[in-house]
Amino acid sequence: MICSLSNRKSYDCLKKFTYFNQASLGLISASSTKKMTDFLNKIARFGNIYISDEDELYLVNKLRKSASILLGGQTKQTAVLSSASEMLSQIPYILKPQKSKILLIETDFPAVTRPWLQYCKNNNCSVKFIKENPDEDLTYKVISKISTDTSIIALSLIQYSTGTKLDVEMISKIAKSKGIKLVIDITQALGAVPIFADKWNADFLVSSGYKWLGGHGGVSLAYLNKDILNINPLNAGWMGAPNPFKMQSDKCSYFRNAKSYTQSTMSYVSIVGLEKSIQEIIKLNPLKIENHSKKLSKYFMKKIDKNKWQIYHNKKSINKSFHIISFKPNSKDLEPIKVFKKLKKKNIICSLRDNKLRLSIAHFNNQEDINHLLEILN
C-alpha cells in the first residue's frame, strides 16, 4: 500500500474529496492557512501597530531566502512578484530581441507564449512554434529547431496539459553555447520536482505560488541569471529602490540583485502563507515528493484499463515527469467532459485540459485515492 507522504489531516478537503488538481489550484495546508489567518486578523484589526516598514521588507526577504533554497540557487538572484504573468510579460521588453526568431511550444501555457506574440507584432522578430507529439522526444525536437537566427527559447519545464518534461539542462547548454537566451516557466514543477536553478543557468525561471507550492494567489517567484541583474527592470516600482522607505522621488536607482523586481506593496497575507508552505515542502524533500508521485502514477498506469482509456505519456521522452497524467476515452462516443462531470459527482476533482482529463498527483495523495478513481474508470 502506497501511503501519503504528508499528513492528510492538514487538508480538510480530503475528508470528503479525492483531490487530483494541484496543477490547477493547489490545496493549502492547515498550518499555512493558520499563518495567513493569524496575520490577517492581526493586521485587519490593528494595522501598522503590528507591522512596520522594516517588517514589510523582512517578510519579502524571508520568502526570498526560503524560495532560493527550494530553487537550488542564491537569494540575491531570487525575486518576489505579484504574479508569474507579470514577470513573463516583461521579459520580451527586458531582453529586446531584434531581427530573429523566438522558439515556443505550440500547446504551452498562454502566459508563456502571448507576451512574445505581442512583442513580435511591433518588433522585427517572428515566432517559430514547435508541435508536441507523443511519438517524439520534445527536448530533442526543441534542440533540432534551433537555427542561426534563434535569439530566444521560451517554454515551460513541464507542459501543463500533458505533463511532458523537458531536459532544461541539455537545452541550456546548447542555447548558451550559441548565445541564445532561455526563459523557463517552472510553475508546474516547483514544489513537485527538484529544481536546480544555478546548474541550469537559464536567464529567467518563473513560477506562480498557488499550485504545487501550496500558496495563495497574489505572489509569485522568479530566478534571474547573474547577467540579467545588470539590466534594469522594465518597471521602476518604488519597492525596487535600494532603500524604498526613504521615499526618494528625485532618483531612480536599483539594487544590483533581484530585489529590484519587487515593484510595490504586495499581499503580505499570501507572502507569509507561501513562505510557510515552502518550508514544509523543503522538509518533505522535493526528490521524495517526485518519487512518491512516480509510484502512484505508475500504479495508476498499470491498473487502468487500456482498452477503455488512452494515456498521453511521451514514451520517447528521456526525462519524464509523473505528477501530471493526461488521458482520454478510447471510444469516440464517450466525451471527456462527461467523464469529468461524472468524476466530480463522485467527489473526484481533476481538470479538463485540451479535451483530455488531467490528473495531478501530490504528496498528500495515496493508493486509496487511485483505487477510488480506478473503480469508476474501469
Give CA–CA dist 262/24, Å, rounded.
25
Class of domain 8-27+285-377: alpha beta
Question: SS3 of 112, please?
Answer: helix
Q: What pLDDT, on a 0 to 100 scale, did the predictor assign at position 171?
A: 97
Q: What pLDDT, on a 0 to 100 scale, did the predictor assign at position 110?
A: 97
Give CA–CA dist 290/294, Å, rounded.
6
Q: Where are the domains of the chain?
A: 8-27+285-377, 41-283
How many degrees, rounded to 5, is the angle at CA 214 between CA 353 and CA 347? 55
Q: Domain 41-283: which topology?
A: Aspartate Aminotransferase; domain 2 (3.40.640)
pLDDT per residue of the chain (378 residues) written in tens, 0 to 9: 999 999 999 999 999 999 999 999 999 999 999 999 999 999 889 988 888 889 999 999 999 999 999 999 999 999 999 999 999 999 999 999 999 999 999 999 999 999 999 999 999 999 999 999 888 899 999 999 999 999 999 999 999 999 999 999 999 999 999 999 999 999 999 999 999 999 999 999 999 999 999 999 999 999 999 999 988 889 888 888 888 888 889 888 888 899 999 988 889 999 999 999 999 999 999 999 999 999 999 999 999 999 999 998 766 666 678 999 999 999 988 999 999 999 999 999 999 999 999 999 999 999 999 999 999 999
**C-beta separation of 64 from 258 below 8 A:** yes
Comparing C-alpha atoms, which of 149, 144, 105, 143 is closest to residue 125? 149
Give CA–CA dist 235/253, Å, rounded.
12
Query: Which triple of cell numbers denotes residue 321?
Result: 515527469
Question: SS3 of 282, please?
Answer: helix
Burial class of 306 by CB neighbour count within 10 A (0 to 12, 13 to 18, 19+): exposed
Q: What pLDDT, on a 0 to 100 scale, did the predictor assign at position 315?
A: 65
Element (H, E) at 126: strand 125-130
Question: SS3 of 123, please?
Answer: coil
**Edge-first strand listing for the sheet containing 351-353:** 309-312, 324-329, 356-360, 351-353
Which residues are CB-contacts of 114 (< 8 A; sequence separation ≥ 6)? 89
Comparing C-alpha atoms, which of 294, 355, 288, 291 is closest to residue 324? 294
Query: Which triple of cell numbers denotes residue 54?
Result: 522594516
Which residue pairs from 9-14 have beta carbons closer than 8 angstroms and sit at least 24 positions apart in sequence?
10/364, 11/364, 14/364
